[in-house]
Amino acid sequence: MDDRILEAKVIEFKNYLHRIPELDKELPKTREYLISYLEKLPCEIVDIGGDGFAAFFEGTAGQGNSPTLAFRSDMDALPIEEVIDTPYKSIHSGVMHACGHDGHMSILLGLASWLSENKGDVKANVLLVFQAAEETTGGAMGITESGILKDYSVDSIFGLHLWPGYPLGTIICREKEFMAGTFVLEIEISGRSVHIADWRQGVDALEAGAAFIERAYELETRLPDEIFRLLRFGKMTAGTGNNVVAERAFIEGAVRAYDDATFDFFFDGLEAIAQDLEAEKRCKIIMCRSMGYPPVINPSPLYERTKKTLRAAGFEWFEPNAPMMQAEDFSYYQTAVPGIFLHLGTGLEGKLHSNDYAIDDAVLMKGVKLFREIVNSYE
């Protein structure tokens, strides 16, 4: 298939998928569209329940006789009302592909089309993974736990994210630490409510909460600059009125880092702060933490091979000096098999998760070519 024809098809895929965004694991229209296309191609479709499905293309050497490469796309959208009026604007009120997942799916369908057209010339086995719930509960974990990567003897897995703010087609990637591991923090502070005129007889949970945040931020500064980390609080609620000492305060925040030692430093330090404040302020502090996604760590050997392949194919490669503090559930795949995650510049300045997010359609074919070059490098 001529690349111009394939590019037109990929843009058609994206436009259709952009019109039917769906949330979390409830993706009936999205799945139906993807599977109805893939069913026409020489591949095996494997259902993985609510977490997604996969399409397996066997290479010329046969399964077990050549490497198996996996490529992942996320499928879910975001609860955002789209404001840009286009012929392919979302038809689902309050739901929008505001993070490029429609493009990611289209790129994999484009790769599937190319694999189908070149079935007799592709040595490597290819597993295309379509995953739900990237924006919510991390569907990648369910995919890895299903055992499909082991069942199909996947050697390496690759993923990309369309990324605004960089030139069209530029690859943004970093060896080792690339995207952050996360923990969510929830802190509940209990005091005693009294009228503010008698504040000394009360226990001010709001005051204790403010002190907790101030000391937590000071804790973060004790780490050396070369340790990549983040500790911030995004929400605090307290009290019932302007003339009443707050009996309860609730704080929500996040820790982001790349290794267990850094997470332990924060958790131990925050526990110590809580104990000190309980003694000083006579309050009760309960701190809960829940794990988000592990960090995205691009392994050195696979990183160097991928970088060499794609630079030789003409792609510009930009390596940031520091990793990003956004999180990505692609990291679950990297806990099962070696994997590379990268960003692909869209050439536009819009923000991810914004109601006017858009891409330059030319980036879609660049994504197909990127994955195609990786497949060809395993001949």
pLDDT at 62: 75
Q: Long-range contacts for 60-64 (Cβ within 8 Å, ≥24 apart)?
A: 60/119, 60/120, 60/121, 60/122, 60/123, 61/123, 63/125, 63/152, 63/153, 64/153
Residue written as tokens 């003897």?
Answer: 153
pLDDT of residue 65: 76
pLDDT, averaged per 10 consecutive residues of the chain (379 residues), comes to 94 98 98 98 97 96 84 98 96 98 98 96 97 96 98 98 97 98 98 98 98 98 96 98 98 97 98 98 97 96 98 98 96 98 94 94 98 94
Query: Under CATH, what is the fold of the domain 181-291?
Result: Alpha-Beta Plaits (3.30.70)
Q: What pLDDT was estimated at residue 262?
A: 97
Measured CA to CA in angstroms, residue 35 lies from 54, 132, 269, 358 at distances of: 9, 14, 49, 25
Residue 61: per-residue pLDDT: 76
pLDDT at 11: 98
Residues pairing with 195 in the sheet? 244
Count CA atoms within 13 Å of residue 229 on its CB side.
22
What residue spans in the chain does CATH classification 3.40.630.10 cover?
A: 3-179+296-376
C-alpha 133: how far from its chain's center?
10
pLDDT value of position 54? 98
Helix pair angle (28-38, 3-19), 10° resolution: 160
Query: Which CATH class, in words, describes the domain spanning 3-179+296-376?
Result: alpha beta
Give the 3-state secondary structure of residue 16: helix
What does the pLDDT read at residue 117? Answer: 96
Q: Which helix (H) or strand (E) holds 317?
A: strand 317-318
Q: Which two tokens stand for residue 87?
A: 């012929």
How close are the terminal C-alpha atoms of the chain, in Å?
20
pTM: 0.94
Instruction: Look at residue 176 and give its three-state secondary structure.
Output: strand
The CATH 3.30.70.360 domain(s) of the chain lie at 181-291
Count of CB atoms situated within 10 Å of the CB of 45:
15
User: What is the per-residue pLDDT for 332?
Assistant: 98
So what's the pLDDT on residue 135? 96
